[in-house]
Chain A
Amino acid sequence: MASTNMIPCGDFKTSYAADTTIFPTVTSRNAVILGILLLAAAPLFLDAYWLNLLIQIGYLGIAALGLNILVGFTGQISIGHSAFFGFGAFSSAYLSNSYGVPVALAIPLAALMTTVVGMVFGVPAARLKGLYLAIATLAAQYILQDFFARAEWFTGGVAGTMAEPFSLFGFAFDTDQSFFYVALAATVVMYLLATNLMRTRDGRALVAVRDHYLSAEIMGINLTKYRTMSFGISAFYAGIGGALYAHYLQYVSVEGFTILFSIQFLGMIIIGGLGSIMGSLMGTAFMVLLPEVMQALTDSLAGTSLDRALNLKDSLAFLREMAIGVAIILFLVFEPDGLAHRWRQIKAYWKLYPFSH
């Protein structure tokens, strides 16, 4: 059985501090730091197209992490996450356009505004569970979507709104190469904050509410507070993600934040692994990169003998969409615990290689 902490033989902890680090070993910590440094060098050897994908993984990953805190860690459900993502995007654009708030400050402020909205829509969570809560969050989705279309002062109405590029100390991060660093830094910081949250009092309380809310209450946890708070935290992350999205594209349209987008967020965390921090990022990467991989596959199919024999032509595009769906279904059938679980098993395998015990 693959254990969750793979500690090398002889690595004994001699203090509680050493036993509560984020990474179980120094090597694993250094590996992650090396990975981040390698990513930081990515603009040197990746073109704008790939950087764009990585930036997408960044801001979507932040929002997906927020949803994972709500769904995976607290056991609530939300199918209105894209509405919060959109609210963050519009708020940040609104703050910087109408009040001249510097973008670097507008992003966290927008996230705080989104938090408030998220907590308001999270209030039913104090009473509702499961499918009933899902329907209540569906209301959030449609109310906010309608608000985006009507509140011209805030969102620019159907025309959408322009957003300033992110800038710091007079330097504008308005290219893929430069904005990549903003997305990278934000992703690292937000993931670090969530990791810390989940290993301290309130994070444990959220998981306790998920696993057994009755005994959580007996342990002194205020259910209403933590359920609402979970919505708040989730909306905060969605707000940060949305605001980054707005200042990256420098334009926000009211049309993007549909229920389909919300379900995509759910797909990311289910594929990545519910209740796993890194799983959120893995799931986001999967959902962003899968269409690219499928595109490459269908492109390579074009013009081949198979293409000619079956006379695929335009059907290739449909084939691509279908293949994405099939890949997701196959994934869920064979890896229902998500990428994070698979990753742990791979690590366990290599730790024990070549002896499988």
Chain B
Amino acid sequence: MSGAPVAGTDIRAGAGNAGDPIFEARNVSLGFGGVKALSEVSFSVRKGELFSIIGPNGAGKTSMLNCVSGRYRPTSGKVFFQGRDITGMTPNHRAALGIGRTFQNLALFGHMSVLDNIMVGRHHLLKNNFLTGALYWFGGARREELAHRREVEEIIDFLEIQHVRKAMAGTLSYGLRKRVELARAIALKPDLILLDEPMAGMNLEEKEDMARYIVDLNEEWGMTVVMIEHDMGVVMDISHRVMVLEFGRKIAEGSPEAVLADPRVRTAYLGESDEPEPETAAAAREVA
């Protein structure tokens, strides 16, 4: 919980605070055969930070996140979590260490209820196994399940999904599924939560809700957030720091303002608007 920025007028108050790095990537490269998805990317995320990764499609953002969560193992380079080298660790081991994530394309357990989906997030916190679970009333499984149910209900309250807790996850609308996925990731009680495009495909109102949840997670729940997002308005508003990837390379990193001002970022991602315009305008005038 330490290092979480104190809520104030400027929600980016914590940006300058040099918290200990909770996560660090050193010279991470990732190749699939001849295709280089990432080359020599290094960055670190400080405890309590809200860190965004942006970049054009295919820049390697999700690949980077997969290297953090363990789905991909970097071809070279190392990743550290809380000072530990986790490069060779399996995803399930990393979850137990405290890394949670959501997916870009929804990855809920479609035939389970919302409640069960979120309870799966408690997997590494629950102690009961197939034996004590099968005996349920004897051996403490019931007590444990009920205690965790209480905590899961808090997450359900926080994300305002009480009305669908018994519904099958696969039957929910897109916006709700995104929220349930976030709930499931929160249920892990992660120190570091990775959000892959949490606002993709949402309308303005849903985006505002989601942004509020993410800021709350960061400030009140004390989670360090790494987020991939294309909505620049949201990224600039809530991030403490931003990293920009292009063709698998890091081209900029820093506060949202600094990144926004970087000319390379403007050409690569945001679109250059100053130079070509007079020329095209002139050309247009000539044609006319």
Q: Which residues of A line the B interface, CB within 8 A?
A: 4-5, 16-17, 19-20, 193-194, 196-197, 199-205, 207-208, 210-212, 214-223, 229, 233, 275
* A210, B108: Cα distance in complex, Å: 11
Write the nearest CB–CB distance from B260 to chain A, whole angstroms: 32
Query: When the two chains form their complex, are residues B95 and A220 in contact, meaning their CB atoms are under 8 A apart?
Result: yes
Write the nearest CB–CB distance from B186 to chain A, whole angstroms: 12
* A200, B120: Cα distance in complex, Å: 9
A-B contacts, 28 listed (Cβ < 8 Å): A4-B168, A5-B166, A16-B146, A16-B150, A19-B149, A20-B146, A196-B135, A197-B133, A200-B126, A200-B141, A201-B133, A202-B128, A202-B129, A211-B108, A211-B109, A215-B103, A218-B91, A219-B121, A219-B123, A219-B188, A220-B123, A221-B120, A221-B123, A222-B90, A222-B92, A229-B130, A233-B130, A275-B111
Residues of A within 8 A of B121 (CB): 219
Query: When the two chains form their complex, are residues B134 and A197 in contact, meaning their CB atoms are under 8 A apart?
Result: yes
Query: When the two chains form their complex, are residues A196 and B133 in contact, meaning their CB atoms are under 8 A apart?
Result: yes
Which single member of B71, B110, B119 contacts A218 (CB below 8 Å)?
Answer: B71
Number of residue pairs A-B, CB distance < 8 angstroms: 118
Write the nearest CB–CB distance from B189 to chain A, whole angstroms: 11
Query: When the two chains form their complex, are residues A220 and B96 in contact, meaning their CB atoms are under 8 A apart?
Result: yes
Q: Which residues of B line the A interface, CB within 8 A?
A: 69-71, 90-92, 95-96, 100-101, 103, 107-112, 116, 119-124, 126, 128-130, 132-136, 141-142, 145-146, 149-150, 153, 166, 168, 184, 188
* A34, B258: Cα distance in complex, Å: 73
Write the nearest CB–CB distance from A62 to chain B, whole angstroms: 14
Query: When the two chains form their complex, are residues A196 and B134 in contact, meaning their CB atoms are under 8 A apart?
Result: yes
Residues of A within 8 A of B142 (CB): 17, 20
* A275, B110: Cα distance in complex, Å: 13
Residues of B within 8 A of A207 (CB): 109, 111-112, 116
B147's nearest neighbour on chain A, judged by CB, is A16
Query: When the two chains form their complex, are residues A204 and B119 in contact, meaning their CB atoms are under 8 A apart?
Result: yes
Given A4-B168, A193-B134, A212-B107: A204 touches B96 (CB 8 Å cut-off): no
Query: Which of A17, A207, A210, A211 has the largest count of B CB atoms less than 10 A from its CB?
Result: A211
Residues of A within 8 A of B100 (CB): 218
Residues of A within 8 A of B95 (CB): 217-220
Query: When the two chains form their complex, are residues A215 and B108 in contact, meaning their CB atoms are under 8 A apart?
Result: yes
Which single member of A16, A20, A199, A216 contacts B120 (CB below 8 Å)?
Answer: A216
Residues of A within 8 A of B101 (CB): 218
Write the nearest CB–CB distance from B114 to chain A, whole angstroms: 12
Write the nearest CB–CB distance from A179 to chain B, whole angstroms: 25
A196's nearest neighbour on chain B, judged by CB, is B136
Query: When the two chains form their complex, are residues B71 and A214 in contact, meaning their CB atoms are under 8 A apart?
Result: yes
Given A194-B134, A218-B101: A205 touches B149 (CB 8 Å cut-off): no
* A214, B108: Cα distance in complex, Å: 10
Query: When the two chains form their complex, are residues B111 and A211 in contact, meaning their CB atoms are under 8 A apart?
Result: yes
Which single member of B103, B110, B116, B188 contacts A220 (CB below 8 Å)?
Answer: B188
Which single member of B71, B112, B119, B128 contacts A211 (CB below 8 Å)?
Answer: B112
Write the nearest CB–CB distance from A198 to chain B, whole angstroms: 9
* A108, B190: Cα distance in complex, Å: 41
What are the 10 tightest A-B residue pairs by CB atom distance, in nearest-first order?
Answer: A200-B133, A220-B95, A211-B109, A196-B136, A215-B107, A220-B124, A193-B134, A202-B130, A201-B126, A197-B134
Residues of A within 8 A of B116 (CB): 204, 207
Query: When the two chains form their complex, are residues B130 and A215 in contact, meaning their CB atoms are under 8 A apart?
Result: no
Write the nearest CB–CB distance from B138 to chain A, whole angstroms: 10
B116's nearest neighbour on chain A, judged by CB, is A204
Query: When the two chains form their complex, are residues A203 and B133 in contact, meaning their CB atoms are under 8 A apart?
Result: yes
A233's nearest neighbour on chain B, judged by CB, is B130
B149's nearest neighbour on chain A, judged by CB, is A16
Query: Which of B110, B133, B184 has the largest count of A CB atoms less than 10 A from its CB?
Result: B133
Residues of B within 8 A of A208 (CB): 109, 112, 120
Write the nearest CB–CB distance from B89 to chain A, whole angstroms: 12
A212's nearest neighbour on chain B, judged by CB, is B107
Query: When the two chains form their complex, are residues B120 and A205 in contact, meaning their CB atoms are under 8 A apart?
Result: yes
Query: When the two chains form their complex, are residues A214 and B107 in contact, meaning their CB atoms are under 8 A apart?
Result: yes
B95's nearest neighbour on chain A, judged by CB, is A220
Given A20-B145, A201-B129: A193 touches B91 (CB 8 Å cut-off): no
* A231, B202: Cα distance in complex, Å: 41
Residues of A within 8 A of B103 (CB): 215, 218
Query: When the two chains form their complex, are residues B150 and A200 in contact, meaning their CB atoms are under 8 A apart?
Result: no
Write the nearest CB–CB distance from A202 to chain B, whole angstroms: 4
Residues of A within 8 A of B90 (CB): 217, 222
Write the nearest CB–CB distance from B154 to chain A, whole angstroms: 12
Given A16-B149, A204-B119: A223 touches B130 (CB 8 Å cut-off): no
Given A193-B134, A204-B119: A217 touches B91 (CB 8 Å cut-off): yes
Query: When the two chains form their complex, are residues A217 and B92 in contact, meaning their CB atoms are under 8 A apart?
Result: yes
Given A16-B146, A200-B145, A204-B119: A223 touches B107 (CB 8 Å cut-off): no
Residues of A within 8 A of B133 (CB): 196-197, 200-203
Residues of B within 8 A of A202 (CB): 128-130, 133
* A221, B122: Cα distance in complex, Å: 10
B97's nearest neighbour on chain A, judged by CB, is A220
Residues of A within 8 A of B123 (CB): 201, 204-205, 219-221
* A84, B107: Cα distance in complex, Å: 34
Residues of A within 8 A of B69 (CB): 218
* A229, B131: Cα distance in complex, Å: 12
* A186, B248: Cα distance in complex, Å: 59
Residues of A within 8 A of B130 (CB): 197, 202-203, 229, 233
